[in-house]
């Protein structure tokens, strides 16, 4: 539509300009080429002027439409009711909540925030603060019961994100959330958890060392000291440049092989 208006205005201006120039050429004498140049220049100028006028008119219309829309938006904004009750805060401190380990409980502290909403049916609850606190604790337990107690510092941040969202409790009478969420364990449990972590580290280290020792014993018994020949070959593989020493080691290796296989030690003369 805008392009059609612009073209129509330019065409009208060009026609009017052509008529005016042709009328002047009949009144004022001059060569034909001069009037042709004048006609071309006048038409081009008229087209530019006409398009400029259309553009300015369209921009003015667009500004009026935007101002009208802005005014409508401002009219639809609802000012908050000054009499609407704000939320209520209730602090809780060191409330035990479960962890993934049955014997270890986490301690939750937070500020429970809640606001009352009209009940869908029946009478309002006589203790909405208990509804709010119970709802926050229920949401907290659903998360902490899946987590290890030693990870409480990480779980605290996850809990803060989860409990920071206002949600209506199942009875539909209050909307509750929590801020300033803190999660800890008792000093005794913290010491026990640290001790258990240290024992697990030592246990894994000892188990690895034991496996290495068993593997070494199996290697010596089943491969190196299976018989005297295997022991001599093993010695030569480790000392390829000590042939004479290997010969002198035959007696000792034979005794080691016999002892490893629970056999009588061979006689060795002095």
Q: What b/e string do you get for 124-137 counting C-beta neighbours within 10 Å, with b at 16 or more?
A: eeeebbebbbbbbb
235 or 83, higher pLDDT:
235
The Cα 123–Cα 63 span in angstroms is 54
H helix runs in the chain, sequence order? 2-27, 32-76, 128-144, 152-163, 187-219, 228-238, 243-248, 250-260
The Cα 61–Cα 71 span in angstroms is 15
Q: Give the model's pLDDT for residue 81.
A: 52
Q: Give the model's pLDDT for residue 78.
A: 45
pLDDT confidence band for 243 (50 / 70 / 90):
confident
pLDDT 10s digits, 140-157? 999 999 999 999 999 999
pLDDT at 121 over 60: no
pLDDT confidence band for 126 (50 / 70 / 90):
confident
> How many other β-carbons are positioned within 10 Å of the β-carbon of residue 225?
19
pLDDT at 53 over 50: yes
Do the beta carbons of residue 219 and residue 234 sit within 8 Å? no
The pLDDT > 70 percentage for the chain reads 70
pLDDT at 258 over 60: yes
Q: Give the model's pLDDT for residue 80.
A: 45
Place of tokens 């602090």: 91
With left for phi above 0 and alpha for psi between -120 and 50, is residue 148 left, alpha or beta?
beta
pLDDT 10s digits, 3-41? 555 566 666 666 667 766 666 666 666 666 666 666 666
Name the helix (H) or strand (E) containing 106: strand 105-116
pLDDT 10s digits, 196-225? 888 988 899 999 999 998 898 888 888 888
pLDDT confidence band for 48 (50 / 70 / 90):
low
What's the rounded mean pLDDT across residues 50-69?
Answer: 73
Question: Which DSSP string corresponds to 174-191?
Answer: EEEEEEEEEEE--HHHHH
Contacts of 38 (CB under 8 A, 6+ apart): 21
pLDDT 10s digits, 154-204? 999 999 999 999 999 888 889 999 999 999 999 999 899 889 888 988 899
Instruction: Return the half-sphere exposure (C-beta side, CA atoms, 13 A cut-off) of residue 107.
Output: 9
Gyration radius of the chain over CA positions: 48
What's the rounded mean pLDDT across residues 55-61?
Answer: 74
Place of tokens 């409508």: 72
> HEC states along 41-53?
HHHHHHHHHHHHH
Q: How far is CA 9 from CA 124, 166, 238, in A?
A: 71, 60, 103
120 or 116, higher pLDDT:
116
3-state secondary structure of 224: helix
Residue in 211, 213, 237, 206 with CA at minimum distance from that of residue 224: 237
Q: Give the model's pLDDT for residue 111.
A: 96
What's the chain's average pLDDT? Answer: 80
* Backbone phi and psi for residue 62, each to the nearest 5 degrees, phi listed first: -65, -40
């Amino acid at each position: 539509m805008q392009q059609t208006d612009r073209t129509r205005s330019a065409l009208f201006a060009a026609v009017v300009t052509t008529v005016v120039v042709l009328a002047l050429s009949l009144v004022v004498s001059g060569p034909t080429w001069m009037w042709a140049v004048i006609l071309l220049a006048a038409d081009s100028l008229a087209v530019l002027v006409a398009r400029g006028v259309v553009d300015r008119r369209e921009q003015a219309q667009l500004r009026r439409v935007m101002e009208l829309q802005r005014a409508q938006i401002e009219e639809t904004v609802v000012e908050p009711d000054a009499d609407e009750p704000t939320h209520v805060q209730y602090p809780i401190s060191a409330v035990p909540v479960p962890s993934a380990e049955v014997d270890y409980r986490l301690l939750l502290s937070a500020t429970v925030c809640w606001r009352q909403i009209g009940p869908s049916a029946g009478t309002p609850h006589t203790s909405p603060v208990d509804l709010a606190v119970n709802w926050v604790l229920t949401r907290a337990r659903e998360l902490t019961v899946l987590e290890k107690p030693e990870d409480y510092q990480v779980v605290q941040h996850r809990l803060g994100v989860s409990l920071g969202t206002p949600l209506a409790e199942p009875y539909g009478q209050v909307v509750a959330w929590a801020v300033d969420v803190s999660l800890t364990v008792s000093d005794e449990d913290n010491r026990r958890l640290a001790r258990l972590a240290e024992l697990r580290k030592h246990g894994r280290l000892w188990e690895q060392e034991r496996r290495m020792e068993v593997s070494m014993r199996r290697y010596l018994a089943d491969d190196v000291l299976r018989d005297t020949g295997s022991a001599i070959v093993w010695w030569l593989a480790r000392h390829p440049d000590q042939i004479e020493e290997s010969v002198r080691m035959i007696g000792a290796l034979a005794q080691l092989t016999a002892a490893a296989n629970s056999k009588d030690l061979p006689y060795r003369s002095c």
